[in-house]
A = this chain, B = another copy of it.
Amino acid sequence: MMQEQQANDYRTLSSLKNALLALKCFTADEPELGITQIAQALGLSKSTVHRIMTTLAEEGFVRRDEQTHRYRLGLSVLSLSGIIMSNLEIYREGQHLLEEFVSRFDETVHLAVLEDYSTVYVSKLECKHPVKILTHLGKKNPLHCTSSGKTILAFQSDDMIEEVIRRGLPQMTPNTITHAEELKAALENIRTTGYAISRSELREGVHSVAVPVRDYTRQVIGAVTVVGPASRLTDGKMKAIARTLQSIGKEISNRLGYYERRQSIGNPT
């Protein structure tokens, strides 16, 4: 016996945790879920999940479809994310610059930030091309196989880089960097050129370019990244885009309080 639950922290609420995990069951591909489905996913009883969903529905975090009696996310979460966005500095400062970029290049551009050991898109502006890449706001991606991830990682501490390597570099496509040394070389290269590129490293046929964004502490906290089909994002095009992105990245960084040092690279104080 004992508690079968995982290490029953006295400081957390298991019922709340279950509810949050239930919310996380919803994905872009599966936006509508039934009780049983969620119960199985979480290993909980149907009645428990039912109570969770009823409560979530009461507060507008999910919506019960009157026909199918299945659930989808509700508008309360929209409201919360609106609050985040209007207070996330990098978002506020970046938005217009990204809009300008899209109207000039007509390629989809994102703003990504570091969260734990992933990148998270905090802003996305779509191009008008019919060929779309499936990403969305809040989408998490690994650090080692995306241009935004590599850009951010390149400027983190050695400890952080080692930790990422220790956690493993899963192979997503034949192009994914899976060896530590190869990754380190790539990061070194990013530090010198100031931008990162991914050619089908996360998904076959999807290329991307990214540049770092720094805040007033001079730390790299995010990246501006353009993602698109390999057919459009050729090496030449990506280089051209990289130049523009670099000036956008610098502008956003400046607005976040970053000021460029005169010379003296790698000289603290």
Q: Spell out A's residues near B (CB within 8 Å).
A: 11-13, 15-17, 19-21, 23-24, 26-28, 31, 50-52, 54-56, 58-61, 72-87, 95-96, 103, 113, 115-116, 120-122, 124, 126, 128, 136-140
Contact = CB atoms under 8 A, between A and B. Distances in A.
B55 A12 contact: yes
Given A75-B120, A77-B84, A81-B77, A16 B139 contact: no
Nearest to A18: B16
Contacts of A87: 28, 31, 72-73
B16 A137 contact: no
Given A26-B83, A77-B84, A120-B78, A58 B138 contact: no
A226 B196 CA distance: 39
Given A16-B16, A19-B19, A58-B17, A140 B96 contact: no
Contacts of A54: 11-12
Contacts of A27: 83
A73 B82 contact: no
A75 B87 CA distance: 12
Query: Which of A21, A73, A81: most chain B CB closer than 10 A?
Result: A81
Contacts of A17: 55, 58-59
Contacts of A19: 13, 16, 19
18 contacts: A12-B51, A12-B54, A12-B55, A12-B58, A15-B16, A16-B16, A16-B56, A17-B58, A20-B56, A21-B59, A27-B83, A28-B86, A60-B115, A78-B120, A81-B138, A82-B121, A86-B136, A96-B126
A166 to B, nearest CB: 22
B78 A84 contact: yes
Contacts of A116: 60
A138 B75 contact: yes
